[in-house]
Structure 1
Amino acid sequence: MKAMLFAAGLGTRLKPFTENHPKALAPVNGKPLLQRNIEYLIDYGITEIIINVHHFADQIISFLEEHNYFGIEITISDETDQVLETGGGLLKVRELLTEDFIVMNVDILTDLDLNALIKAHQTQNALVTLAVSDRTSSRKLFFDEQNTLKGWRNLNTNEEISAIETLDHCKELAFSGIHVIHPTIFDKITQRGKFSIMKVYMELMAHETIVGFDHSGGILIDVGRPSSVLEAEEIFK
């Protein structure tokens, strides 16, 4: 199975580090996020990874070259002209993703059992399986009793997207930044250019099998700000 690491973001929350570096190279106990997640994927047998780059792309490429691409096949998706967000970034490399594939944000550190996530995805014959957990977040996803995605809500603005009349009886969980996707999704995407894959999910959830994989109780840190780097350093040595 191939994986894609989203590493093109500007990382504005990680300033001042990202004023001169990409967030993918932000160190946690001396080891960059990019390296930690490449090694995490390798630990689960992933040997083909696509990495999209935009902000200080040359630094990421140089880092990979210095480490001999960690002994695996790494493909760079160059978004230096325009960052395409998650949806556009995936669409750009669709020809490389012909079987179920993993997608992961580079600034996530977790102990999620990737094999269990993949097994759940394939057992349920899902189009998309989203890793989710019960934790504090301003944006929540809502799932029914079968763990099928039914809605999304921004808790700060009360903006809501729903596939059903009310989300009152649904489980409210936060997205963990990791998903497993079946390649037929590319035939269902109507957007082009720069767009979020989450918006695609919102459009498809009413008639496609998009499910959640709840890993509440495990470790998940969104290393998006300096304070979370310190938190991560307490756990990831």
Structure 2
Amino acid sequence: MNTSILHPPSSITKAMLFAAGLGTRLKPFTDHHPKALAMVNGKPLLERNIEYLKEFGVNEFVINVHHFADQIKDFLVSKNNFGVEIHISDESDEVLETGGGLVKAKNLLGNEPFLVMNVDILTDLNIEEMIQFHLRNKPLVTMAVSDRNSSRKLLFEKDLELKGWRNLNSGESIIVSDNPLRELAFSGIHIIDPKLFKQMPESGKFSIMTTYMELMKEEKILGFDHSGGILIDVGRPESVLEAERIFV
């Protein structure tokens, strides 16, 4: 199945791809390569997601690198950056996780809302619809979410405003609402208003989810529900096989 569909350009044209992770679940491939270059039907995840976002008018990318960083840089050079503008945020000294990685790349991301995506996600999510949802509702953050199996769930009020988190395995939870809440799984894609940086640590290693959990009581963080669509976290060898049945 080829999920590639041309879409009109959007008013958000910059994206950050998180590509710095160690990819330990994809061993032994990641013993010698970055997970961003893991192949699905002969095409690396990084290439697939650059092409995917280009279909929605994204023409400028920030890519953070750490594990086998030079392989990613050399690959991009060999492909002439896929005809788009690419900035590298180099975390070779220390992988900073999602929150720290965003802060390090702050000066590359500009003053307009931008999209963030994990490089190991493959999906048919209509990014244009998500962007228009974000621009209409003007939250601090819009998170793509869906109703699917996951050990960690985000909790939303009926208007899809984020109000909690729950680990289904450990029972640990953070909840800031007395209203009925709906459990949805995060899809690894979000749209961020750069005003978020004013409420984040100025440096360090931390998860962006930690920031969202701190801010959800006072700030509007919304979910964009794309339940029923395709989403594969290509983090394990068996998920590569699953992805190859769908993404040609």
Partner of 1:69: 81
Q: CA offsets, 1:147-205, max 9 Å, x none? A: 10000011111111111246xx2110000000000000000113630000011000000
**1:106-117 correspondence to structure 2 within 5 Å:** 106-117=119-130
Normalised to the residue count of structure 2, the TM-score between the two structures is 0.93
1:206 to partner: Cα distance: 0.3
**Structure 1: stretches of 5+ with no match in the other structure:** none
1:207 to partner: Cα distance: 0.6
Q: Identify the match of residue 193 of structure 1 among 191, 199, 204.
A: 204
Distance in 1 between residues matched to 2:203 and 2:170, nearest whole Å: 27
1:203 aligns with 2:203: no
Distance in 1 between residues matched to 2:202 and 2:172, nearest whole Å: 21
- State the aligned residue count: 235
Partner of 1:44: 56
Normalised to the residue count of structure 1, the TM-score between the two structures is 0.98
Q: CA offsets, 1:91-138, max 9 Å, x none? A: 011122210000000000000000000111111111000000000000
Question: Which runs of structure 1 show a deviation greater than 4 angstroms over 4 or more consecutive aligned residues?
Answer: none
1:217 aligns with 2:228: yes
Task: Name the aligned partner's letter for residue 166 of structure 2.
Answer: R
SS in 1 for 2:33: coil
Q: CA offsets, 1:200-236, max 9 Å, x none? A: 0000000101000000000000000000000000000
Task: Name the aligned partner's letter for residue 158 of structure 1.
Answer: G
1:149 aligns with 2:169: no
Partner of 1:17: 29
Contact preservation (8 Å) 2:87, 2:108: no
Distance in 1 between residues matched to 2:202 and 2:243, nearest whole Å: 36
Distance in 2 between residues matched to 1:130 and 1:220, nearest whole Å: 14
Distance in 2 between residues matched to 1:53 and 1:75, nearest whole Å: 11
Q: Identify the match of residue 182 of structure 1 among 177, 180, 193.
A: 193
**Structure 2: stretches of 5+ with no match in the other structure:** 1-12
Of residues 106-115 and 187-196 in structure 1, the stretch that sits farther from structure 2 once superposed is: 187-196
Distance in 2 between residues matched to 1:21 and 1:223, nearest whole Å: 15
Distance in 2 between residues matched to 1:119 and 1:43, nearest whole Å: 15
C-alpha RMSD of the superposition: 0.9
Task: Name the aligned partner's letter for residue 36 of structure 1.
Answer: R
SS in 1 for 2:48: helix
Distance in 2 between residues matched to 1:147 and 1:192, nearest whole Å: 30
Partner of 2:7: none
Distance in 2 between residues matched to 1:155 and 1:51, nearest whole Å: 32
1:24 to partner: Cα distance: 0.2
Partner of 2:113: 100
1:56 to partner: Cα distance: 0.3
SS in 2 for 1:235: coil
Task: Name the aligned partner's letter for residue 90 of structure 2.
Answer: D
Distance in 2 between residues matched to 1:111 and 1:145, nearest whole Å: 24
Give aligned-pair identity as a percent.
Answer: 66
SS in 2 for 1:80: coil
Contact preservation (8 Å) 2:103, 2:202: no
SS in 1 for 2:116: strand
Q: Identify the match of residue 174 of structure 2 among 141, 161, 186.
A: 161
